[in-house]
Amino acid sequence: MKTRVYVTLKNGVLDPQGKAIHHALEGLGFAGVNDVRAGKLIELELDANVSEAEVEAMCRQLLANTVIENFRIEHGSFEGERTGAA
Amino acid sequence: MNSAVIVFPGSNCDRDMAEALRLVSGRAPTMVWHRESELPDGLDLIAIPGGFSYGDYLRSGAMAAQSPVMRAVKAAAERGVAVLGVCNGFQVLTEARLLPGALMRNAGIAFVCRDVPLRIENSQSVFTSRYDAGEEIALPVAHHDGNYQADALTLDRLESEGRVVLRYLDGVNGSARGIAGIVNEAGNVLGMMPHPERAVEPAHGRTDGRRLFEALLETLSEAA
């Protein structure tokens, strides 16, 4: 089973990296970008018997720092997603 | 004073810390590797040094906080043993939840490496008893993730309980309320971004960090 954990900064937490990416996009001439927030995607390959509660515990204990970050768990095959390469 | 310096893969201020402790206390600390699950008996002080433990993977200090030795450090801290975390050591202490809040990427994105002016906000702690309250000192910083953040409630509590021990006098990294160092509720765990161990002898250019180690020596030797 493939599981994805998305780790994002909580609302209101300043994101210096997102800000720098935003500036860089503007520097490239892309208009209309109102805000950029950067986060992390962590892919887990799990045994079928790993429970949702265990994945949540992984997030709380290590994958996310819940002082400043939120996490979201998604399951699926995610087949055919890695397109878009030049 | 019996002390130990915890060494993680990627620590790079461990020997500076050991030298500062040896210089001031006359006794070399025990160097403890991160895989150890037990600390030497009779410790008065545990120092968690600066560096880039585990390559700063995931988040600065996150992997180190889960290492076997940190369970022993937590247990010792709960027993009242003094714990000093400097720079990456501060990050490890927040990730281990021995201190509240988190250290995020510097607001200015860039790595900051310079001497910074600081104010001693609390001279009652075991770490700062050799300084005067309100005294201004300068210490070197060298970090990428020193931007201290916590929710407003936590910040208010830290302030009202006198747990903000050190504050930046100018904008260094975007830290909430200029916080450079805090102690835990019991007062025996200090996390700070500036490096006192890099300012203990004239050859360093500054000696403002020396009194932190002298204070520990004085307090902890008395207690023993």
The parent domain of residue A42 ranges over 2-76
Using CA coordinates, name the residue in chain B closest to A12.
Answer: B151
Query: How much is the average pLDDT of B93-101?
Result: 97
Interface test with A, best of B58, B95, B106, B145 (most A CBs within 10 A): B58
pLDDT of residue A82: 58
CATH number of residue B44's parent domain: 3.40.50.880
Task: Please name the amino acid found at residue A4.
Answer: R
SS3 at position A3? strand
pLDDT tens, residue by residue, B30-77:
999 999 999 999 999 999 999 999 999 999 999 999 999 999 999 999
Total domains in chain B come to 1
- Residue B90 lies in domain: 3-223
How much of chain A exceeds pLDDT 90, in percent? 77
Q: Ramachandran region of residue B134, left (φ > 0), alpha (ψ -120 to 50) or beta?
A: left
The residue type found at B88 is N
**Residue A1 burial (CB count, 10 A):** 13
* Selected residue with higher pLDDT from A79 and B159: B159
Q: CA–CA separation, B91 vs B97, rounded Å?
A: 10
What Rg, from alpha-carbon coordinates, does chain B have?
A: 16
Model pLDDT, residue A76: 82
Asked if residue A86 belongs to a domain, the reply is: no
The answer to whether A12 faces chain B, any CB pair under 8 Å, is no
**Rounded Cα gap, residues A27 and B170, in angstroms:** 29
The beta-carbon neighbor of B149 closest among A13, A19, A63 is A13
Task: Say if A84 falls within a structural domain.
Answer: no
Instruction: Decide if B108 and A16 are in contact by the 8 Å CB cutoff.
Output: yes
Q: How many helices (H) and strands (E) does chain A have?
A: 2, 3
Q: Which residues of A touch B109 (CB under 8 A)?
A: 16-17, 19-20
Residues in chain B: 224
Q: Which residues contact A49 (CB under 8 A, 6 or more apart)?
A: none
The rounded distance, in Å, linking the Cα atoms of B65 and B69 is: 9
Position A81 scores a pLDDT of: 66
Give how many domains chain A has, as a whole number.
1
Tell me if chain A has a CB within 8 Å of the CB of B146.
Answer: no
Residue in the block written with tokens 């504050």:
B167
User: What is the number of H-type helices and E-type strands within chain B?
Assistant: 6, 11
Mean of the pLDDT values across residues A14-25? 92
Nearest alpha carbon to residue B178 among B194, B202, B189: B194
Residue A17 carries which DSSP code? H
Q: What is the pLDDT of residues A39-76, one digit of tens each?
A: 999 999 999 999 999 999 999 999 999 999 999 999 88
Q: Confidence class of residue B83 from pLDDT cuts 50, 70 and 90? A: very high
- Residue B109's region, left for phi above 0, alpha for psi from -120 to 50, else beta, is left
Q: What helix, strand, coil percent values describe chain A, rounded to 5?
A: 30, 25, 45
Asked if residue A85 belongs to a domain, the reply is no
Check if the interface score ipTM surpasses 0.90. Answer: no
Q: A62 lies in a domain?
A: yes
pTM above threshold 0.90? yes
Q: Residue B221: which pLDDT band, with cuts at 50, 70 and 90?
A: confident
Residue A34 maps to which CATH number?
A: 3.30.1280.10
